[in-house]
């Protein structure tokens, strides 16, 4: 009986909430003096949670390769246009033309409409994705045109709040990592991903700490979202 209770107590969380985020911060700070300095200087990071589902995935697609400020402004236009009800069916009805008229690029309009079509037809289910392990969930998402490892990673990290996800190719993380380690050159995606392995099983917590440091040093809020202008 006591062994079973201890195992449950020590079990790793499958979803981050404020309590498990702070537990991860505490463990990482005890293991890594550089991350501990971030906590000492700026305190714990925000949870930066986003709702699961189509609107969040659309927003992350809009954030690909652009500043968060411009992506947020464009997403706000979409939200107003669809009267706060950004659903696959409502996007499919007018098609790409409506998105183009709002300022979405032709490529991203194609991605968003394609995603809407797959969700509406049942070919893809974000509910099923949410029940999958990290690797399987990421693999399922990257099968969708327009969703690459970075987009999938950010969705798993923010919407599904997985504790051990690292979004490859995130420029904000790379810059923060360079600052943390005193590097003269921003690390490549492969180098940053390899370095982050030391923070398992809390890589998503480490990512939040690095974003927190990046933003705090620049005294910006970015609409309380981290600087995730990365790849697809």
Topology (CATH) of 15-48+165-222: Endonuclease Iii, domain 2 (1.10.1670)
Architecture of domain 54-159: Orthogonal Bundle (1.10)
Cα–chain center distance at 190:
18
Q: Cβ distance 213 to 179 under 8 Å?
A: yes
Average pLDDT over residues 100-111: 97
- The fraction of the chain above a pLDDT of 70, given in percent, is 90
**pLDDT at site 7:** 35
Q: For the segment 180-204, what is each residue's pLDDT rounded down to a tens digit?
A: 999 999 999 999 999 999 999 999 9
Q: What is the pLDDT of residue 220?
A: 55
CA 7 to chain centre: 30
Q: Domain boundaries in the chain?
A: 15-48+165-222, 54-159
37-82, pLDDT tens digit by residue? 999 999 999 999 999 999 999 999 999 998 888 999 999 999 999 9
Rg (CA), the chain: 18
pLDDT at residue 13, as a whole number: 86
For residue 152, pLDDT beyond 50: yes
In the structure encoding, which two tokens stand for residue 167, read together?
A: 């979004």
- State how far the Cα of 126 lies from the Cα of 130, in Å rounded to an integer: 6
Q: What's residue 217's pLDDT?
A: 87
pTM more than 0.75: yes
Residue-by-residue DSSP string for 67-129: -HHHHHHHHHHHHHHTTT---HHHHHTTTHHHHHHTT--HHHHHHHHHHHHHHHHTSS-HHHH
**pLDDT at 210 > cutoff 70:** yes
For residues 47 and 159, what is the distance between their CA atoms, to the nearest angstrom? 11
Cα–Cα distance measured from residue 74 to residue 85, given in angstroms and rounded to the nearest whole number: 15
How many angstroms separate the CA atoms of 70 and 54, rounded?
Answer: 20
pLDDT given for residue 213 in this prediction = 95
Mean pLDDT, range 200-221, rounded to an integer: 90
């Amino acid at each position: 009986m006591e062994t079973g209770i201890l195992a449950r107590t020590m079990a790793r969380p499958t979803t981050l909430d404020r309590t498990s985020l702070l537990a991860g911060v505490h463990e990482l700070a005890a293991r890594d003096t550089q991350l501990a300095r971030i906590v000492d200087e700026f305190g714990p990071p925000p949870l930066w949670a986003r709702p699961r589902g189509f609107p969040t995935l659309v927003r992350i697609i809009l954030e690909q390769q652009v500043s968060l400020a411009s992506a947020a402004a464009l997403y706000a236009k979409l939200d107003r246009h669809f009267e706060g009800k950004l659903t696959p069916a409502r996007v499919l009805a007018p098609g790409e033309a409506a998105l183009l008229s709002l300022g979405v690029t032709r490529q991203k309009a194609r991605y968003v409409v394609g995603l809407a079509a797959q969700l509406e037809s049942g070919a893809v289910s974000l509910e099923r994705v949410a029940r999958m392990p990290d690797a399987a969930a990421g693999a399922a998402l990257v099968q969708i045109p327009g969703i690459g490892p970075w987009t999938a990673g950010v969705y798993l990290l923010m919407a599904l709040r997985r504790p051990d996800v690292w979004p490859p190719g995130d420029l904000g993380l790379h810059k923060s990592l360079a600052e943390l380690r005193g590097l003269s050159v921003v690390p490549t995606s492969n180098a940053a991903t390899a370095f982050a392995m030391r923070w398992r099983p809390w890589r998503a917590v480490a990512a939040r700490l690095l974003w927190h440091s990046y933003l705090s040093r620049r005294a910006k809020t970015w609409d309380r979202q981290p600087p995730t202008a990365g790849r697809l």
